[in-house]
Chains A and B, each alone.
Chain A
Amino acid sequence: MILFRHECRLLLRQRLTVGALALLALLTMAALAGGMAEVARQRAAIAAIPAAHAEDIGAIADYVDRTKDAGSAAYYSFHPTWDAPAPLAFAALGMRDISPYILRVRALGLEAQIYDGETFNPELALPGRFDFAFVLVFLAPLFVIALFHDLVSGEREAGRQRMLEALPNGGRALLRRRMALRLLLLWGLLCLPFMIAAASAGVAVSAVLIVVAIVAAYLLFWAALAALVGRLRWSSVANAATLAAAWLVLVLIVPTLANVAINASIPVHQGAEIAMAQREAVNAAWDVPREATMRRFYADHPEWADSAPLGPRFHYKWYLAFHQNGDARVADKVHAYRAGLEARDATGRSLGWVLPSVGVQALLTQLAGSDLAAQLAYQDRIRAFHARLRAFYYGYLFRDRPFAKADFDRAPRFKDVPRG
C-alpha cells in the first residue's frame, strides 16, 4: 500500500499526467451528462405524447361525430407509438439518435409510415453521439497510450532504469505496480462517474457490474498492447507512434473497412425504397378496378369477406383495403430488408470477437437497449399495435357501423414494454 502511495505521488506530480487524467474525467462526465440530457429529452417528449394525442383527437372528434364516418376517423386520426429508453441508454445511445423513438401511425398502409420515418443523419451516424460508449471505445485508448507508452522507455531514456532494476523489487514488480496503478486510475475515472450516473438512472446493479467489467477488460487490452510494444525496447516516441497507429487501425480503419465489406457482401436496400414501393402500389391502386382490389384483399383477409359490396360512391374500406394490399406487395422486400439488417448486425457482432472496439460498442448498445435488435423489436411492437388498430377501424368500416365521438376512447392504445 505504501508503495502504491509512492507511485501515486510520483504519477500525480507529472503535470501532463494530471492534465490527461483531468481531461479524461471531464470528458467522461461531459459524455454522461450529455447522454443523460438526451435521454431526459426523449423521456420528456414521450411524456408529452398523451396530451398531444388528446389534442389531436379532440380536433377531429367533433367532425367525425357529425358524419359518423369511421373512414374519416381512421384516415385523420394518428396514434402514437414510442420506444422508451432503457435506464442504461444514457451510456450508449446507439441507434436511438438515428432511428425514430416516437412514431405516430394511422390505420393506413404501415410500411410507408415506418420507413418514411427512417430518418438518417449521416453526420451523427459516422462518429456516433458523444456518449459514454464513445469516450470508452474511441478516446480511452488514447489515454492508455498517453500513460503507458513510456512506462519502461521513459525510465530508460531518463537513465533511471538500471538503477531501479538494481533495487530489490525494482524490476518487474515495479512495472506491474505502475501498470496496475495507471489502470486503476483510468478505470476509476471512467467508472466512478458512470456508477453515479447509473445509480441516479436506476440501472440494475448487474448491468452496472457488467459495464464496469467491460471497461476493465477494454482498458486491459490496450494496456497489454502498450506493454507488448514496450517490450520491443523502442524509444518513447516510437512506442507512442506505434500505439497511435494501432489505435487508428483497430478503432477507426479496420472497423470502417469491415463495415464497407459487410455492406458490400450483404446488400440491403434502403428503407426509403420500401416506402416508395408501397406508395407506388397504393397510387397504382386508384387505377385498378375496385372489385379486383377487394377480391385480393378478401383473399388475404377472409374474416371481412362477408362485408356488403361496394356501392358506386367512394368508400373508405376500399381505400384502406388497397393500402393493406400495398403493404402485402412490399412484404417480401420488408422481410429481405430486415433479414439483411440482421445479417449485417450478426456479422458485425462476430467481428467484435477479434476487434475489441467493435465488441465493446456492440455489448454496450445491447445492454443499453439501443442496438438494432431493440430497434427491430420496437418495429415489431408497432406492427402488433397497427394490426389491432386496423382490426378496430375495420370493425366499423366493413360492418358499416357508425363511428361516434365516444368510439375514439375505445381505440387501442399503444403500450410500451417496461425496460429493466
Chain B
Amino acid sequence: MPPMTDPILIDDLTLAYGTQRVLSGLSLRVPAGSITALLGGNGAGKSTTLSALLGFTRAQSGSIAVCGIDPAADPDGARRHIAYLPENVALYEHLSAVENADYLLALSGERQPRDAIVEGLAAAGLQEQAWDQRLGGFSKGMRQKVAIAVALLRRVPVLLLDEPTSGLDPRATADFNALLVQVRARGTAVLMVTHDLLSAADIADRIAFIEAGRVAHEASASGAERFDVRALHARFQAGGAKVAA
C-alpha cells in the first residue's frame, strides 16, 4: 500500500509571469481533513498559488502535486480531485439551483440523481424553496451554497477557496464557516485564500502568511487553543507593509 500523502503538496515553487516573479520558493502542504488559510497582501502570490494548483499556470521550478498529480502535466487529472470556488461564484442565472448543480456535476463527469442533488443543496444550507428557483435573484451567499453543494456532491479530496467570505454579511459568513467545518469533517483538504482574519482564526487549522511569493510565517492552532487574532492582525499588517515596501 503506497504511503498516504497530503492532498496538497507544494515544495519550493518558483513561478513568474514574464520577467515578474510571483512565487519565489513557496512551500506549503495541506493535510486531509484540515483547513489552511493563506493570508497575505495584494500581489503576494495567493491567487497565483491557486492557479498553479488548478493547472492554469506552469511553475519554473519546484514541485506541486494535488493528490499526487502534477496539475501542470495533467490538469484534468488534478481537477478531478479539486472543487474550486472563485471569489464571486457566478452560475447560470437562467437555470435553477438544481439545474446549475446538475450541469456542473455533469461537466465534472459525476452526474447524480435529483434526490442526491437536493440532498447536497440541503446539506449546504440552501432552503428548499430555493432549489427550483432560477438563480437570477440569489444572493452571493446562496450562490456559494449551490457551489459548495456541488463540491460536497463531488466528494473531492481538495477544496480551493478564493476569498470566499468577501462581501458576505456576518451571519452568512458564520453559516459559510460552519459549512467549511462540515467539509473538513469529511476529510477534505481545504485551502482558503482570504483577507478575513476573523474567519481564518475561527476555523483554520493552519494559517500561512505569504509575503513576496513565499510562506514567510506559518501558525497552527492546537486543539481547543485558537489563534490570537490581535497577533495575526499585527503579523498581517507587518507583511502587508513589507509587501507594500
Contact = CB atoms under 8 A, between A and B. Distances in A.
Given A165-B56, A167-B79, A10 B102 contact: no
Nearest to B104: A167
Interface residues of B, number: 29
B213 to A, nearest CB: 21
A312 interface: no
B107 A9 contact: no
Interface stretch (B85-93, B187-195, B202-210): B85-93
Given A166-B79, A168-B76, A168-B79, A13 B106 contact: no
A173 to B, nearest CB: 9
Nearest to B147: A163
A167 B102 CA distance: 13
Given A2-B111, A13-B94, A163 B84 contact: yes
A417 interface: no
A13 B95 CA distance: 8
B167 to A, nearest CB: 13
Given A3-B106, A3-B107, A162 B86 contact: yes
Given A13-B94, A159-B86, A168 B106 contact: no
A150 to B, nearest CB: 14
Contacts of A169: 76, 107-109
A166 B54 contact: yes
Interface in A367-393: none
Contacts of A171: 75
Nearest to A164: B107
A308 to B, nearest CB: 91
Contacts of B106: 2-3, 6
Given A10-B92, A158-B90, A163-B90, A168 B108 contact: yes
Nearest to B82: A166
B6 interface: no
Interface in A159-190: 159-160, 162-171, 174
Residue among A159, A166, A171 with the highest chain B CB neighbour number at 10 A: A166
A121 interface: no
- Interface size range of chain A in the complex: 20 to 34
Interface in B39-92: 54, 56, 75-77, 79-80, 82, 84-86, 88-92
A82 B73 CA distance: 70
Contacts of B90: 158-160, 163
Nearest to B85: A163
A270 interface: no
A329 B36 CA distance: 98
B12 interface: no
Nearest to A163: B86
Contact of A168 (B80, B86, B89): B80
Contacts of A6: 102-103, 106-107
Contacts of A166: 54, 79, 82, 84, 160
A265 interface: no
B99 interface: yes
A158 B65 CA distance: 30
B157 to A, nearest CB: 14
Contacts of B160: 166
A9 B76 CA distance: 25
A297 B154 CA distance: 95
A171 B56 CA distance: 11
B94 A14 contact: yes
Given A158-B90, A167-B79, A168-B109, A10 B103 contact: yes
A159 B87 CA distance: 9
A159 B90 CA distance: 6
A165 B50 CA distance: 13
Interface string B206-227: 0000000000000000000000
A9 B95 CA distance: 9
Nearest to A14: B94
Given A3-B107, A166-B54, A167-B104, A160 B91 contact: yes
Nearest to A155: B90
Interface string A4-30: 001001100110000000000000000
B58 to A, nearest CB: 15
Nearest to A5: B106
A211 to B, nearest CB: 35
A164 B79 CA distance: 11
A165 B103 CA distance: 14
Nearest to B154: A167
A101 B88 CA distance: 65
Contact of A174 (B56, B91, B94, B107): B107
B120 to A, nearest CB: 16
Contact of B88 (A13, A159, A174): A159
B107 A170 contact: yes
A9 to B, nearest CB: 7
Interface string B123-163: 00000000000000000000000010000000000001000
Interface of B: 54, 56, 75-77, 79-80, 82, 84-86, 88-92, 94-95, 99, 102-104, 106-109, 111, 147, 160
The 10 closest A-B pairs by CB, nearest first: A159-B90, A166-B84, A13-B94, A168-B79, A168-B76, A160-B90, A168-B80, A167-B107, A166-B54, A6-B103
9 contacts: A6-B102, A10-B92, A13-B92, A162-B86, A166-B160, A168-B79, A168-B108, A169-B76, A169-B109
Given A13-B92, A165-B54, A168-B77, 8 more contacts: A9-B99, A14-B94, A162-B86, A163-B85, A163-B86, A164-B107, A167-B104, A167-B108
